[in-house]
Amino acid sequence: MDVPLQDCTIEEQRGVVRFVWAEEVKPVEIHRRMLAQYGQSTLSRRKVYEWVERFKSGRTCATDEGRSGRPSTSRSRKASSPQEYRN
């Protein structure tokens, strides 16, 4: 069976969670409906529950918030040999 919305973004799915939750649909049903439309690309059931809780707490934005701390990639030059690390 082909799923119509297999190519989508995480933010799109979070928006769907918010929209359907606003219609007072339970998270388990939201996830079931999303599976039918998004197939293997669907958010996990746990993530659907997490986002419902965030929206219940007043969150309105479906995008990731900025994070503090160390960036995930290094911007310094790489050592070409183990010897460079010792100096």
> Which H helix or E strand runs over 86?
helix 82-86
Residue 63 CB partners (closer than 8 Å, separation 6+)? 11, 14
Spatial separation of the C-alpha atoms in residues 46 and 28, rounded to whole Å:
9
The pTM of the whole model exceeds 0.85: no
**What single letter denotes the amino acid at residue 22?**
A
**What single letter denotes the amino acid at residue 58?**
G
Encoded tokens for 28: 């388990």
pLDDT tens-digit profile of 5-57?
778 899 999 999 999 999 999 999 999 999 999 998 899 999 999 999 999 99
